[in-house]
């Protein structure tokens, strides 16, 4: 069971990224999140979400969800977000195992784009 | 300010190039709360320098639903009054995490200038390298030069040198200020402000604060807007079915402003197939509509959607406020797309009917069954609340669950400062003028 994202429901609001950052840092911050909105292709209207798991990257592209084994995938999905903390340096998703209500990103997403599967 | 803030205000004198910093005091926050409240206090304090004040709301960048708004406060070249412009998309959030809660920009530079705001450092830099570049090329160059595609850019375009219809631009898209504030930047020889924030905001009672945010999010998710997204749905919700039907064929996807549940921005595909979801090979696919102002007028003028979209895109590159452009064209009887496009670089006012301190890019009309949104007094108060706390001004209309008493309670919880309804009433009265 892991966190999955419906890319066509996502509106790139970044609430999930902030929620995960809070889960990591007990403060509002974005650098520690294991779920990140991919948002630098503004002029193409191309955006999605990347989630780091222990062994996989879950890449929610608008054309479909991909799960790729880390080590078998190029870093970051492109140079556009190289300035952000690279995904492979981030902690893996722990599904907020210390929360009774489960993943905070799932709870906070305003459009129910995040689910467990 | 220890909580929900970076505790730093920058005062930039563009004439000397000097930057001073001072703390964002608990006393200032308790008295003026945040956003437009503090912006206005700083504006008045530094009025001798004809300032432009950038500020984040108290909740900007937090998990409070809708907390994406930054605010620019300045004297509008069109109305000659002090106004507050919405800084949406991701700009408000980036400002909040940049290490500065407020930036006061005074006087005018002798040469083209940009500000580079990053991680508690504010650099005043030469912008001569941006000369001759349109808005999109300038944003691309700044991001390439700084090596960071996540930099958020607040700027003015080449139109700001000559047109009073020049608006604020956030990255490639219109900020929707409607107050001609692009000219205010140009008057200071300030081409743009580039912002990147990797900061962290402590929260006083973080578990309770976040628990309340989660509960609020659950409440607003069940609101009348639930299940809707984008400007097509917004138009329908306002009873403008013809406008909705006109926009729908080229609508690609809908994007939200930071942490704002209702996605209020719609991208029109002017190239290719709007149903296509894979990443296009082409670099530019169309234009992001950030409010209904221009589309509504251009549709009523009888323009084809693709022509209208092309005009809005051209406005974006030039740094013209498309809402003002559409209004002036309608008022002066211009209705031919080619003629409008050809006239854009020389288009100018006057612009009639601008009033009040808040941008009319947020419609004052019943929407999603919220009839109060058409009431001027209610609309104005909700805008004031949004601009003070840093909440998306459209979402503040759609989410009456974000009650003032709840926001006051959250402010106290997040900061351990004392806030009251009376205090909020006083700040609302000030920002509403």
Q: Which of B60, B256, B392 should one mutate to test binding to chain A, selecting the residue with the greatest count of A CBs within 10 A?
A: B256
Q: How far apart are CA B210 and CA B64, in angstroms?
A: 8
Q: Please check whether residue B358 is in contact with residue B383, taking contact to mean a CB–CB distance below 8 angstroms.
A: yes
pLDDT at B350 over 90: no
- Nearest-CB residue to B252 (from A14, A45, A82): A45
Q: How far apart are CA B348 and CA B350, in angstroms?
A: 7
Q: Please state the length of chain B.
A: 433
Residue A74 binned pLDDT confidence (cut-offs 50, 70, 90): low
Chain B residues within 8 A of A50 when measuring between CB atoms = none
Q: Are strands B113-118 and B190-196 parallel, antiparallel or unpaired?
A: parallel
Distance from CA of A65 to the nearest CA of B (A): 12
Ranges B290-294, B347-351, B422-426: which has the least confidence: B347-351
Q: What is the DSSP string of B208-231?
A: HHHHHHHHHHHHHHTSTTTT--HH
A115 in any annotated domain: no
Q: Please check whether residue B191 is in contact with residue B128, taking contact to mean a CB–CB distance below 8 angstroms.
A: no
pTM: 0.97
Q: What is the DSSP string of B142-194?
A: HHHHHT-TT-EEEE--GGGGT-TTB--EETTEE----S-HHHHHHHTTEEEEE
CATH fold group of domain B9-196: Aldehyde Ferredoxin Oxidoreductase;  A, domain 1 (3.60.9)
Q: How far apart are CA B42 and CA B48, in angstroms?
A: 11
A117 in any annotated domain: no
Distance from CA of B215 to the nearest CA of A (A): 9
pLDDT tens column, B306-323 = 999 999 999 999 999 999
Residue A38 belongs to domain spanning: 3-108
A116 in any annotated domain: no
A113 in any annotated domain: no
- Nearest-CB residue to B150 (from A45, A84, A104): A84
Q: Please check whether residue B226 is in contact with residue B408, taking contact to mean a CB–CB distance below 8 angstroms.
A: no
pLDDT tens column, B16-33 = 999 999 999 999 999 999
A9 in any annotated domain: yes
In chain B, CATH 3.60.9.10 covers 9-196
pLDDT tens column, B59-81 = 999 999 999 999 999 999 999 99
Q: How many domains does chain A have?
A: 1
pLDDT tens column, B174-221 = 999 999 999 999 999 999 999 999 999 999 999 999 999 999 999 999
Q: Which of B171, B279, B399 should one mutate to test binding to chain A, selecting the residue with the greatest count of A CBs within 10 A?
A: B279
């Amino acid at each position: 069971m892991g966190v999955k994202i419906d890319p066509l429901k996502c509106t790139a609001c970044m609430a999930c990224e902030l929620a995960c950052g809070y889960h990591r840092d007990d403060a509002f911050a974005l650098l520690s999140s294991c779920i990140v909105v991919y948002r630098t292709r503004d002029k193409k209207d191309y955006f999605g979400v990347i989630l780091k798991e222990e062994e996989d990257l879950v890449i929610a592209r608008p054309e479909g969800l991909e799960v790729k084994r880390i080590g078998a995938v190029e870093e970051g999905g492109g140079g556009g977000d190289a300035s952000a903390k690279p995904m492979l340096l981030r902690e893996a998703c722990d599904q907020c195992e210390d929360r009774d209500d489960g993943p905070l990103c799932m709870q906070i997403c305003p459009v129910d784009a995040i689910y467990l599967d | 300010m220890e909580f929900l803030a970076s505790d730093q205000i920058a005062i930039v004198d563009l004439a000397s190039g000097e930057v001073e910093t001072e703390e964002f005091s608990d006393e200032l926050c308790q008295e003026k709360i945040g956003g437009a409240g503090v912006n206005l206090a700083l504006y008045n304090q530094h009025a001798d320098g004809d300032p432009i004040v950038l500020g984040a709301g108290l909740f900007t960048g937090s998990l409070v639903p809708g907390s994406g708004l930054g605010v620019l406060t300045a004297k509008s070249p069109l109305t000659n009054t002090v106004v507050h412009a919405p800084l949406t998309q991701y700009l408000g959030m980036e400002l909040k995490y940049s290490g500065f809660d407020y930036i006061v920009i005074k006087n005018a530079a002798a040469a083209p200038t940009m500000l580079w705001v990053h991680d508690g450092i504010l650099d005043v830099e030469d912008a001569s390298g941006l000369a001759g570049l349109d808005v999109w090329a300038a944003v691309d160059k700044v991001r390439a030069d700084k090596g960071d595609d996540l930099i958020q850019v607040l700027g003015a375009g080449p139109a700001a040198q000559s047109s009073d219809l020049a608006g604020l631009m956030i990255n490639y898209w219109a900020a929707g200020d409607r107050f001609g504030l692009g000219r205010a930047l140009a008057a200071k020889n300030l081409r743009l402000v580039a912002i990147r924030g990797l900061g962290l905001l402590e929260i006083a009672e973080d578990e309770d604060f976040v628990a309340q945010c989660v509960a609020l999010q659950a409440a607003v998710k069940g609101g009348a807007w639930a299940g809707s997204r984008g400007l097509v749905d917004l138009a329908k919700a306002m009873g403008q079915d013809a406008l909705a039907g006109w926009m729908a064929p080229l609508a690609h996807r809908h994007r939200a402003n930071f942490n704002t549940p209702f996605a209020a921005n719609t991208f029109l595909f002017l190239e290719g197939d709007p149903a296509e979801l894979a990443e296009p090979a082409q670099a530019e696919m169309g234009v992001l509509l950030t409010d209904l102002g221009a589309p509504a007028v251009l549709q009523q003028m009888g323009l084809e959607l693709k022509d209208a979209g092309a005009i809005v895109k051209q406005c974006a590159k030039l740094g013209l406020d498309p809402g003002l452009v559409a209004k002036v064209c309608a008022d002066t009887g211009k209705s031919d797309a080619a003629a409008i496009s050809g006239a854009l670089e020389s288009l100018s006012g006057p612009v009639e009917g601008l009033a009040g301190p808040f941008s009319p890019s947020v419609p004052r009309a019943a929407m999603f069954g919220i009839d109060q949104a058409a009431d001027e007094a209610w609309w104005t108060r909700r805008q004031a609340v949004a601009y003070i706390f840093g909440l998306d001004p459209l979402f503040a209309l759609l989410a009456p669950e974000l009650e003032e008493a709840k926001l006051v309670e959250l402010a106290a919880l997040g900061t351990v400062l004392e806030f009251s309804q009376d205090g909020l009433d006083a700040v609302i009265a000030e920002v509403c003028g």
